[in-house]
Amino acid sequence: MIETTRYEARQRVRGTLAFAVLLGAFALLIIYLYPTIAESSADIDALIESLPESFREGFGAETYTTIEGFVAAELYQTVWVLLLGLYMAYAGGGLLAGDVESGRLYLVLATPVSRKRVAFEKFLSLGLPIVVLNVSMPLVVFGGTVAIDYPLDPYYLLVVHLLSIPYLLVCSGIGLALSTILDRGDAAQRAGLALVFLLFLLDSVTIGTDVEWLGAVSPTRYLDPTEILLHETIDLVDPLLLSIVAIVIVLGSLGHFQHRDL
């Protein structure tokens, strides 16, 4: 059981650890800058208020007078939601299409194993970066804020990471879906990056307009670190909806891959 998952997860260990180190280093750099930023936070808040609503909402920029508002905008809304979402879509895009292109998948399917099982076990391997990053990052962020004497509330910090898991699964599922449709690994990966980024833009530019409803198709609409960290507001409906969407995408992708021509 799950031999494919074990193999694929081992292949991801080095890349996951490298990404975790880079994200951790960037997070510490951002946090280290906050004491200096805090001295002029009133001026920065005035600048934020002058920005378009779509920009403020898209990047979660509300206030820099608190460490919660600063970390939410500079780290979580941009790096965690956007960059990590792109990373997971890219990783998902390389799950199957690359093996189809190289012919390696035909060797795997020559064994008594179904297409669905291979695809699902490959998808499960994406749990490694999701778990590692969601365990390491809150420790780094909390430790960094304690070190500069502006500690975040660890409870709401953990909630941000917990509720981001369904969002990351949706991004991974988008990559998987494209990987079952396209026959070239690089094409599926680039398409995953482009689609998640376009959905992020759609959500951002439609906020406060007459077509704001269009942004409802973007997974970024349902994860708001600023609401959790700054306003201490926890909404369980959005992550539940994202979980359902992730399941639908994955099941649909598995069904399509099972019956498509290779």
Print pLDDT tens along the chain (262 aa): 578 888 889 989 999 999 999 999 999 999 998 888 776 655 565 555 655 555 555 555 566 778 888 888 888 988 899 999 999 999 999 888 877 777 777 677 667 778 888 889 999 999 999 999 999 999 999 999 999 988 999 999 999 999 999 999 999 999 999 999 988 888 999 999 999 999 998 888 887 778 888 888 999 999 989 889 988 889 899 999 999 999 999 999 999 888 876 6
Q: Which two tokens stand for residue 135?
A: 């365990």
Q: How big is the chain by its Cα radius of gyration, in Å?
A: 20
The CA-based angle 112-114-117, given to 5 degrees, is 120
Q: Which two tokens stand for residue 262?
A: 């290779």
- Which residue range(s) make up the domain with 193? 3-259
3-state secondary structure (DSSP) of residue 209:
coil
| Widest pairwise Cα distance in the chain | 65
pTM of the model: 0.89
From CA 117, how far away is CA 126, in angstroms rounded?
15
Distance (Å) of CA 143 to CA 31, 69, 106, 148, 199:
10, 17, 47, 9, 33
Domain count, the chain: 1
From CA 108, how far away is CA 110, in angstroms rounded?
5
